[in-house]
Amino acid sequence: MKVSEFNRIGLTVALGLLVASCGARDEGSSTMTLDEALDLVTEDALIAHVSYLADDALEGRMTGQPGYDKAATYVAEQFAALGVEPAGNDGWYQQVPLVTYNLVPEASAVTLHINGEDVAVEYREQFAMGGDPLRESASVRAGLVFVGHGVHAPELGYSDYEGVNVEGKIVVMFNNAPGTFETTQRAYFASGETKLAEAVRRGAVGMIGLSTRESAEKYPWDKYKERIGVRPGMTWVTETGEASGYFPEIIATAGLNDEAAALLFARAPFDFEAARDAIEANRSVSVDLGIEATIAQSSTHDRLTSPNVVGLVRGTDPVLADEYVVFTAHLDHNGLETYRDGDKVLNGAYDNAIGVALMIETARVLAAAPPRRSVLFVALTAEERGLLGSEYFAEYPTVQQEAIVANINLDMPLFLFPVADLIAFGAEHSTLGAVAERAAIAEAFSFSPDPMPEENLFVRSDQYSFVKQGVPAVYLIPGFTSTDPDVDGDALVGDHLRNHYHEPSDDLARPFHWPSAERFARANARFGYEVAMDANRPRWHEGNFFGERFATP
């Protein structure tokens, strides 16, 4: 195992060993029935994992920081104690090559060229810019073309690119996608990666982002601007210069506030508010704006690596053992917020120490009762920085890519009260949904449909990295209903999301209903077990949007 340059403190090792020696038991290598193995899951073990991972000593498990590396060591030691085999390409680890980058605001600018006049737009007050993951500096001057949402979806009868030519131009687009789209399709077309890929295909060289009225109301610029440039950007980057969601053809990008956005329409046939009206009415009104802009950026870079931790339970069937069900849970969180008074540690007890704890306990069950297929357990780095660890693993897995049959992800399962039901995001897309439902019911949970499809959680956590590789995936979480009729589950979940999500208060002081967590771990293990026992690989449903788009026949 490679010791990270950050992991210099002997205390790290000492602490890890201490926890390993009191938290882990040797289950022995004799195989059990699934029911016997399920009984190995205990509340105490879950509590021990979360207590270690969410402790202040791990300083919020920030990717690339010592606290994350301690957490990675802990997971590897737990896997080892369970008889899980190392399956990274560096022992337990798959080192993910990362770069952090910061904009140099003094050397970056947005200038509009309107009617022979240069109009400077002010950084942070009027524009946001994220820096470039690879280039030290770059500048582009080009004509502006307004392209609505920047969406091209002929299969849905919609295109923002009809009648405009963006070759060599800077495209100007609103965030999000038409409200008439079904939510998963809307999420796909709303993603920056999809939009940039389309713009690049049509020869665009830059992008300016605008806010819809809805998002400007939800995230007022005056609040948003406080966060501009606070945290460096991060992405993975290979030796050959491949980087996540990176399109070198796009030379520079910027986001404008409403005041600056209005200037772009100075010579257009309609003004900015009319453009917003059209977007709200799902009308495409793309038009050459008849002005030019210069976007210039300068960035600084730091390279680092951070590991995914990869464990393997080898399958018992001589043929199916060469296929893999992949469990994932992100191990990183958001570190320290040093500018805060008082508690500065983003402990991420729910996001996602508990998910990792559940995955370790799932590994305990499947190591004791190995199914026919092999099972990988991957504690992921850099989820909070943009699903980076999962994307890197799904693109460059430590096993043959085609051999991955399913992904089961865990991210922020909430056990704020005695839980009555489970939800599987993505259940409706593939045969995995029915398996998840059977597993929930076997552990006396009811099974609920996605209660907030508009949030698009299916495309917002690590399972989506596998979906993009064509792998059927599901993201299992507890539902919002309590077995206690006096508990308003919706209200408690809502309160957590509003007041504790990504806050220092997401720590061990939050309520945890451990019996529900234990039962969830059992359901999760049953789920993976059934998928790994089935002679047939899971399949996307016929004609499914994700299957059609991403799966290779």
Q: How far is the CB of 298 from Zn ion (least distance, A)?
A: 30
As a whole number of Å, the end-to-end CA separation of the chain is 38
Q: How far is the CB of 384 from Zn ion (least distance, A)?
A: 5
Residue with smaller CB distance to Zn ion, 332 or 361 = 332
Residue with smaller CB distance to Zn ion, 385 or 522 = 385
Residue with smaller CB distance to Zn ion, 330 or 373 = 330
Beta bridge partners of 138: 297
Q: How far is the CB of 387 from Zn ion (least distance, A)?
A: 11
The CA-based angle 483-490-178, given to 5 degrees, is 135
Considering only residues 198, 351, 450, 503, which one is a binding residue for Zn ion as defined by CB under 5 A? Answer: 351
Q: How far is the CB of 351 from Zn ion (least distance, A)?
A: 4
User: What does the block give as tokens for 63?
Assistant: 């990717």
Q: At what angle do helices 354-368 and 514-533 cross, to 10 degrees?
A: 50
Q: How far is the CB of 497 from Zn ion (least distance, A)?
A: 11
Cβ-proximal residues to 98 (8 Å cutoff; 6+ apart), any chain: 63, 64, 234, 235, 236, 237, 303, 304, 305, 306, 382, 388
Residue with smaller CB distance to Zn ion, 55 or 384 = 384
**Cβ atoms of residues 161 and 202 within 8 Å:** yes
Q: How far is the CB of 414 from Zn ion (least distance, A)?
A: 13
- Binding piece for Zn ion, criterion CB under 5 A, among 49-57, 91-99, 122-130, 351-359: 351-359
The 235-254 contact track toward Zn ion, x by CB under 5 A, reads --------------------
Residue with smaller CB distance to Zn ion, 386 or 418 = 386
Residue with smaller CB distance to Zn ion, 284 or 352 = 352
Residue nearest to Zn ion (CB): 351
- Binding piece for Zn ion, criterion CB under 5 A, among 17-25, 163-171, 344-352, 537-545: 344-352
Q: How far is the CB of 391 from Zn ion (least distance, A)?
A: 16
Reading phi first (left if > 0) and then psi (alpha if -120 to 50, else beta), residue 80 is in: alpha
> Cα(228)–Cα(226) distance, rounded to whole angstroms?
6
Number of residues that bind Zn ion (CB under 5 A): 1
Residues 19-58 binding Zn ion (CB under 5 A) are: none
The CA-based angle 24-30-33, given to 5 degrees, is 95
Residue with smaller CB distance to Zn ion, 186 or 333 = 333
User: What does the block give as tokens for 60?
Assistant: 């919020």
Name the nearest CA neighbour of 360 among 521, 507, 533, 532. 521
**Cβ atoms of residues 293 and 167 within 8 Å:** no
- Binding piece for Zn ion, criterion CB under 5 A, among 29-37, 347-355, 385-393, 449-457: 347-355
> Cα(317)–Cα(286) distance, rounded to whole angstroms?
57
Q: How far is the CB of 166 from Zn ion (least distance, A)?
A: 35
- Binding piece for Zn ion, criterion CB under 5 A, among 77-85, 175-183, 343-351, 458-466: 343-351
Reading phi first (left if > 0) and then psi (alpha if -120 to 50, else beta), residue 382 is in: left
The 284-313 contact track toward Zn ion, x by CB under 5 A, reads ------------------------------
Cβ-proximal residues to 141 (8 Å cutoff; 6+ apart), any chain: 113, 292, 293, 294
> For residue 283, how many other CB atoms are within 10 A of its CB?
11
**DSSP string of 397-423?**
-SS-GGGEEEEEEE-----SS-B-EEE
Residue with smaller CB distance to Zn ion, 55 or 383 = 383
**Cβ atoms of residues 517 and 358 within 8 Å:** yes
- Note whether 518 binds Zn ion by CB under 5 A: no
> Cα(422)–Cα(410) distance, rounded to whole angstroms?
12
Residue with smaller CB distance to Zn ion, 351 or 450 = 351
- φ/ψ of residue 99, rounded to 5: -130, 135
- Binding piece for Zn ion, criterion CB under 5 A, among 167-175, 320-328, 350-358, 439-447: 350-358
Q: How far is the CB of 27 from Zn ion (least distance, A)?
A: 32
- Binding piece for Zn ion, criterion CB under 5 A, among 46-54, 87-95, 270-278, 349-357: 349-357
Q: How far is the CB of 502 from Zn ion (least distance, A)?
A: 6
Residue with smaller CB distance to Zn ion, 331 or 369 = 331
**DSSP string of 156-176?**
GTEES-TT---TT-EEEEESS
Burial class (CB within 10 angstroms; exposed 0-12, middle 13-18, buried 19+) of 67: buried
**Cβ atoms of residues 482 and 418 within 8 Å:** yes
Residue with smaller CB distance to Zn ion, 132 or 384 = 384
- Binding piece for Zn ion, criterion CB under 5 A, among 268-276, 345-353, 366-374, 533-541: 345-353
Residues 125-154 binding Zn ion (CB under 5 A) are: none
> Cα(250)–Cα(205) distance, rounded to whole angstroms?
5
Q: How far is the CB of 462 from Zn ion (least distance, A)?
A: 11
> For residue 460, how many other CB atoms are within 10 A of its CB?
15
Residue with smaller CB distance to Zn ion, 69 or 351 = 351
- Binding piece for Zn ion, criterion CB under 5 A, among 31-39, 174-182, 319-327, 346-354: 346-354
Q: How far is the CB of 234 from Zn ion (least distance, A)?
A: 14
User: What does the block give as tokens for 432?
Assistant: 């995995």
> Cα(204)–Cα(213) distance, rounded to whole angstroms?
25
Residue with smaller CB distance to Zn ion, 136 or 343 = 343
Q: List contacts with Zn ion (CB under 5 A).
A: 351
